[in-house]
Copies of this chain bind each other. A is one copy, B any other.
Amino acid sequence: MEKNQRKKIPHMTITRLAQYLNCLTLLPREHYREISSKELAEKIGLKPTVIRQDFHHFGGFGHAGYRYRVPNLIEGLERILGLDQKQKIIIVGVGHLGQALANYRNFDRLGLELVGLFDINPRLIGITIRDIRVRDIDEIPAAVESENATIGVITTPAEAAQSTANLLIRAGIKGIWNLSPMNISGPPEVIIRNEFLSVGMMELSYRLKTAAVG
């Protein structure tokens, strides 16, 4: 396993491994103690061979033709994706999207622990969401250090995204998940993922148009 992880894994494989894990964590445990690549493939809309090829990068999780034990599969996928070491996350920007993410139960299942919520709006500072009190962004540096937070989520308006990123980077955050509409950048040692929600919608629009043209 360790040796394999040094190899460059295709980006699409990582995306699919995350989809498999997402799907598996949502299965009712009592019905799925084991699952075949065919069953998992049907749930996700992929070919079973794709799943087996993806698993092959990491030692295969068992032998061809056998069913996978779901707990083993979840544990293995979590280890590959780095979710076995609990990551502590903070969210900056507690508007609708920030609150949606703060309440996203799926993150708990993935070992992501929310340890801080921050905003600049005095009307939001002091309110409590899931037992976490919203604090002023001035408190980010102290909070990142004391809580040992590694991931910062940006759900601010576009105008504030880069300055928020700069603040997070100065505070020692290792990875940034940017959900504001504005692209952000930082030094190479900080892992930045710009997630543009509207891009997904535009791709859907494109596919609708090309389907109509036929």
Residue numbers of A with Cβ under 8 A of B are 5-6, 14-15, 17-19, 21-23, 26, 43-45, 80-83, 85, 87, 95-97, 99-101, 103-104, 106-107, 110, 112, 150-151, 158, 174-175, 177, 181-183, 185, 189, 191, 193, 195-211, 213
Contacts and interface: CB of A to CB of B under 8 A. Distances in A.
Nearest to A103: B96
Main secondary structure of the interface of A (DSSP, over half): helix
Contacts of A196: 18-19, 22
Given A15-B199, A193-B207, 11 more contacts: A17-B206, A26-B182, A45-B185, A97-B100, A112-B205, A150-B208, A174-B208, A191-B211, A193-B200, A193-B204, A195-B197
Nearest to A190: B211
Nearest to A155: B100
20 contacts: A14-B203, A17-B202, A18-B196, A18-B198, A18-B202, A81-B209, A82-B208, A83-B202, A95-B100, A96-B99, A101-B197, A104-B198, A106-B198, A107-B201, A110-B201, A150-B208, A174-B211, A177-B200, A177-B201, A193-B207
User: Which residue among A21, A112, A181 has the maximum number of chain B CB atoms within 10 Å of its CB?
Assistant: A181
| Residue from A45, A104, A191 whose CB has the most chain B CB atoms within 10 Å | A191
Contact of A44 (B15, B183, B204): B183
